[in-house]
Structure 1
Amino acid sequence: MELNNLKPAEGSRKDRRRVGRGIGSGLGKTAGRGHKGQKSRAGGYHKVGFEGGQMPLQRRLPKRGFKSQSAKYNAEVSLAALERLGAAEVDLVSLKKAGLVPELARNVKVIKAGEITKAVKLNGIAATVGAKAAIEAAGGSLA
């Protein structure tokens, strides 16, 4: 086998369709485009979502909702999750390592869901008013 003898397998490559090359080709005259109309002519075509002048679907349906792009950087941790973690000092890195918050998280807030009995010191983590009271009642603190 030499490089000058390489060729594709038999039948793997079809010849391209040559339209508008006479009646004998089977694709002469209108070249498979039918008769008249915008789709038969060169250059003219509609934009995406165009429905022939009818009000398009994306304009018929109501606008609804809003998804904040900054929400993916915010995370919440419950008091019950802090209790299970069992660490004396908790910061963003330790929460990511434990898998309690996603890797993208930048801002973490402790919410009052569940109970906490162990004293926990929070570094660089916010807490709701109720969660802060529960943490301080258990002997913990926020830094």
Structure 2
Amino acid sequence: MKLHDLKPAEGAHRERKRVGRGPGSGKGKTAGKGMMGQKARSGPGPYRTFEGGQNRMVRRMPYLRGFKNRWRVEYQVMNVGDLSELPADHELTLEDLVASGAINKNKPLKILGEGDLNIKLTVHAHKFSNSARSKIEAAGGSVVEEPWIVETRSRSAGPNPAMRNRK
């Protein structure tokens, strides 16, 4: 086998359609470009966002630069220092925090490690930073990670668990 023996596979290469070569070819006269107008001329056509001269959509809309993650989970944060005012041996649950108005029930809670803690607590939250976990456990307390379940809504007309239980 030599370089001059190499050929593409059978059927892999198709010859281009020769346009403007008479009526018998099926692509004669206007060569498939219709009658007149900017798109019938030689050279590139109008740019992608061209809308016939009116101010185009991409200029009418405000800028939205960068990337927006659709699946980002936004946490409410609370520091370990905020928990130091609680009584010792207290069990801090998510329901208590929602009832007191400290957090919103629609977002998950993350405990961060800023501040000092010197009382024994049992803390329930969706997530803990490593420093917060170590500070709570160093004070003799314990951490309980609650699962955060996101109920996704159905995009089809099919069964939707979020809507099924509505009255």
Q: Distance in 2 between matches of 1:68 and 1:110?
A: 23
Call closer, same or farther: CA 1:86–1:75 in 2, change over 3 Å. farther
Counterpart residue identity of residue 141, structure 1:
S
Partner of 1:130: 131
Partner-residue secondary structure (3-state), 2:116: coil
Q: Distance in 2 between matches of 1:142 and 1:108?
A: 13
Are positions 1:110 and 2:141 aligned together?
A: no
Q: Does structure 2 retain, via aligned residues, the 8 Å contact 1:122–1:142?
A: yes
Q: Distance in 2 between matches of 1:85 and 1:98?
A: 13
Q: Distance in 1 between matches of 2:60 and 2:117?
A: 49
Partner of 1:99: 101
Q: After TM superposition, what 4+ stretches of structure 1 lie above 4 angstroms from structure 2?
A: 67-72
- Deviation string for 1:84-137 (max 9, x for gaps)? 3446111110111222211323x2111011111111112354210010011111
Q: Does structure 2 retain, via aligned residues, the 8 Å contact 1:91–1:125?
A: no
Q: Does structure 2 retain, via aligned residues, the 8 Å contact 1:120–1:135?
A: yes
Segments of 5+ residues of structure 1 without an aligned counterpart are 1-49
Q: Does structure 2 retain, via aligned residues, the 8 Å contact 1:80–1:113?
A: yes
Q: Distance in 1 between matches of 2:69 and 2:143?
A: 31
Q: Mapping of 1:26-65 within 5 angstroms? A: 53-56=54-57, 57-59=59-61, 61-64=62-65
Call closer, same or farther: CA 1:126–1:54 in 2, change over 3 Å. closer
Partner of 1:139: 140
Partner of 1:16: none
1:89 corresponds, among 83, 88, 91, to 91
Counterpart residue identity of residue 140, structure 2:
G
Q: Distance in 2 between matches of 1:108 and 1:142?
A: 13
Partner of 2:120: 119
Q: Does structure 1 retain, via aligned residues, the 8 Å contact 2:111–2:125?
A: no
- Deviation string for 1:36-92 (max 9, x for gaps)? xxxxxxxxxxxxxx9x61234434x432253757646x3211112211344611111
Aligned-residue identity in percent: 22
Partner-residue secondary structure (3-state), 2:81: helix
Segments of 5+ residues of structure 2 without an aligned counterpart are 1-50, 145-167
**Higher normalized contact order (CA 8 Å, seq sep 6+, divided by chain length):** 1
Partner-residue secondary structure (3-state), 1:123: strand
Aligned-residue CA RMSD in angstroms? 2.9
TM-score relative to the length of structure 1: 0.51
